[in-house]
Amino acid sequence: MLWLDGVSHRGPEVEPFIRSLLGRPERFVLYIAGAGFDPRASHLALIVSKTPARRKGIFLRENRPEPEQELLDRAQANEDSLRKAFPDSEVIPIEIFDKDYAVVGGHRVVTELRRRLRDENGLEGITDVIVDMSAMSIGISFPIVGLLFELLRTCTDGPNLHVVAAAGGPEVETAIVAEHAENYQNPWGFKGARSPGDTPVRLWIPQLANPKKGAFGILFEELDPAETCPVFPFPAREPRSVELLLEQFGDELSRSWGVDPRQMLYAAEDDPLDLYRTLTRIHVSRKDVYDLLGQPSETVLSPIGSKALAIGALLAAMEHALPVAYVEARRFEVPPAGFNENVDPDRFVHVWVLGEVYPHPNSGSP
């Protein structure tokens, strides 16, 4: 496992770590984040802005059809806050859909960042690249981290790569209401490594989340997996988290998906590396068995719940070239009860993906 002994920080450890890492003026950070309506958009960026390190920012504004005015106003306020924190910054608008409603956001963001970072030497002098997934969709954040991982893992003297998120927890993440597209998508760069003509025995590992219940129905129907192993957050702050999800997904688990209790997976709610290790063990063990049988197999991840656990799925997908399946949000709506503005520092997450803390920095083997 690349990140078996990965460096990560959670909760109250994150802010002191950032201040320590960027506590010297010779550090130069490139901060990449979403500039949308999400209440979590600027909290970690403000911490970075208060350090002595030099800094510049690239902020992504995800645009979808027919946005509500309140969402536009909130996004503009977050953009203004990010620009103030990072005077040397650029906001890049990203259209998530084309005129025919095809999902193109991932391809567009990769094109924009590849030009700036590789073709125009945008990483020159940078000591640390931090990708803040707090206010990015999977269709944008996964391609960005995947691109940076490929660019930096072969650079012997390249910058460190970090992923952070203000995870928010279910009380924040379940407040965001989405109208989903009609089909599932793979984020750019996360279609997996299947050979043409393969008919693999497919294992689907969805990370359950109540507000996106409709998206799981689309995923199951279109993926048609042979096996399903859902992920439940445990341990979790809410003692009844697993019980509530069992109630909400009871019909799917027992009937549609045919899940045996022994197939249920558990991962610590705010620990990306816990889920990463679980996914890696399952995928490797399963692949070894099917390879002996001469039968292709496939492990498909759907990390559409917690931001913290999505980071764990991202690491497993990058290491093993696993396909990721999700359903893109066509538009967002203002929650009936309004947004939950409670961004709890105890739910901050950091993972050091590549760099100087590992025996072979940026060599593709942390």
pLDDT in tens, 58-96: 999 999 999 999 999 999 999 999 999 999 999 999 999
Write out the H or E segment, with its range, that includes residue 298: strand 297-302
Tell me how far apart the alpha carbons of residues 266 and 240 are, in angstroms, rounded to a whole number.
14
What does the block give as tokens for 11? 């909760």
Three-state DSSP class for residue 329: strand
Q: Which of these CATH numbers, 3.40.50, 1.10.10, 3.20.20, 1.10.1760, describes 182-327? A: 3.40.50
Q: pLDDT tens digits, residue range 139-194?
A: 999 999 999 999 999 887 889 999 999 987 666 666 677 888 999 999 999 999 87
Determine contact, residues 85/47, Cβ cutoff 8 Å.
Answer: no
How would DSSP label each residue in 75-103?
Answer: HHHHHHHHHHH-SSEEEEEEESB-TT--B
134 phi/psi in degrees, rounded to 5: -55, -45
Question: Looking at the domain covering 7-174+341-354, what would its CATH class be?
Answer: alpha beta
The answer to whether residue 272 scores a pLDDT higher than 60 is yes
Cα–Cα dist 291/305, whole Å? 31
**Burial status of residue 240 (CB atoms within 10 A of its CB: 0-12, 13-18, 19 or more):** exposed
pTM of the model: 0.95
- SS3 for 10? strand
E strands, 74-198, in order: 89-95, 128-132, 160-166, 177-180
Asked whether the beta carbons of 154 and 364 are under 8 A apart, the reply is yes
* Positions of CATH 3.40.50 in the chain: 7-174+341-354, 182-327
Helix, strand or coil for residue 348?
Answer: strand
pLDDT digits (tens, 9 = 90+) for 327-355: 999 999 887 777 777 788 999 999 999 99
